[in-house]
Amino acid sequence: MDDEGRMENYLKRLEPTEEVETESAQKRKRERSVVWDHFKKSSDKAYGICNYCGKHLKTAGNTSNLLDHLKRLHPSRMTADKEPMPKTMATFLNKEPFYGSDSNVKKRLDKKVMDMIVKDVRPFSCVHDEGFVELMQEAVPRYKLPSRTYFRDVMLPTEYDLLSLKLRAALEAVKHVGLTTDLWTSAANEGYITITCHFITENFKLTSALLSTAPLMTPTNHNAQNIADSISLMLAKWGLLSKVVTVTTDNDSTMKKACDILEFKHLPCLAHTINLLAQDILKLAAVNVIISKCKRIVTYFKHSTIATAKLKEAQNTNEPLLLIQEVSTRWNSAYAMVKRILQINEYVTLTLLKLRNGPSPITNEELDVLNDLSDLLSPFHEATLSVSTNTKVSVSLIIPVIAEIHHKMNQVKAQLRTQEGKKIYVVVQKRLVERLDSFETHTIPRIATLIDPRFKKDGFLRSSNAEQAAEALELELLSLEPTTPRRPPTPESTLNEASSKFSFLQNKPKVKSTRADATRQFMENENIPDTCDPLKYWEMTADNELKLVAKKFFCVQASSCESERVFSLAGQTISDRRTRLKPEVVDQLLFLNKNRHFN
State the DSSP string of 17-85.
PHHHHHHHHHHHHHTS-GGGGTEEE-TTSSEEEETTT--EEE-TTSSHHHHHHHHHH-HHHHHHHHS--
| 272: phi then psi, degrees, rounded to nearest 5 | -65, -40
DSSP H helices in 84-215: 87-92, 104-119, 130-139, 148-150, 156-172
Q: What is the CB neighbour count within 10 angstroms for residue 63?
A: 18
Q: 334: which DSSP letter?
A: H
Please write the tens of the pLDDT for every residue from 228-284: 999 999 999 999 999 999 999 999 999 999 999 999 999 999 999 999 999 999 999
The backbone torsions φ and ψ at residue 98, rounded to the nearest 5 degrees and listed phi first, read -65, 150
Task: Give the integer Cα–Cα distance in Å for 54 and 161.
Answer: 17
| Residue whose C-alpha is closest to residue 572's, from 596, 590, 597 | 590
* Apex 569 CA angle, 568 and 572, nearest 5: 95
Residues of the chain where predicted confidence (pLDDT) is lower than 70: 1-32, 60, 78-96, 187-188, 481-501, 504-519, 570-580
Question: Of the CATH numbers 3.30.70.20, 3.40.350.10, 3.30.420.10, 2.40.50.100, which one belongs to the domain with range 177-269+560-598?
Answer: 3.30.420.10
User: Which amino acid, one-letter code, is at 55?
Assistant: K
Contacts for 248 with CB less than 8 Å, ≥ 6 apart: 178, 179, 180, 266, 267, 268, 269, 556, 557, 558, 559, 560
Which residue type occupies 478? L
How far, in Å, CA of 174 to CA of 206, rounded? 12
Collapsed DSSP state (helix, strand, coil) of residue 213: strand
What pLDDT shows up at residue 83?
Answer: 44
d(CA 511, CA 525): 11
Q: Nearest-CA neighbor of 373 among 273, 288, 271, 276?
A: 288
* Residues with Cβ within 8 Å of residue 177, at least 6 apart in sequence: 171, 197, 198, 199, 240, 243, 244, 245, 555
CA dihedral over 519, 522, 526, 528, signed as positive or negative: negative
* Contact (CB, 8 A) for 330 and 360: no
**Smallest Cα–Cα separation from 456: which of 387, 537, 391?**
537
Angle at 449 between CA 448 and CA 454, to 5 degrees: 120
The sign of the CA dihedral 259, 464, 272, 535 is negative
548 vs 239, 380, 545, CA distance in Å?
A: 21, 32, 5
pLDDT value at residue 222: 87
Q: How many CB atoms are located within 10 Å of the residue 586 CB?
A: 21
Nearest CA-CA partner of 374 in 340, 331, 414: 340
Measured at the CA of 199, the angle between CA 195 and CA 200, to 5 degrees, comes to 170
Q: Give residue 319's pLDDT.
A: 92
What sign for the dihedral angle of Cα 137, 143, 144, 150? negative
What three-state secondary structure class fits 145? coil
Question: Residue 494 has what pLDDT?
Answer: 43
Alpha carbon 266 to chain centroid, angstroms: 21
Domain boundaries, the chain: 36-93, 98-146, 177-269+560-598, 274-387+394-441, 445-557
CA 312 to chain CA centroid, nearest Å:
35
Residues 6+ apart with CB under 8 A from 580: 188
**pLDDT tens per residue across span 35-80:** 888 888 887 778 888 888 878 888 867 788 888 888 777 777 765 5
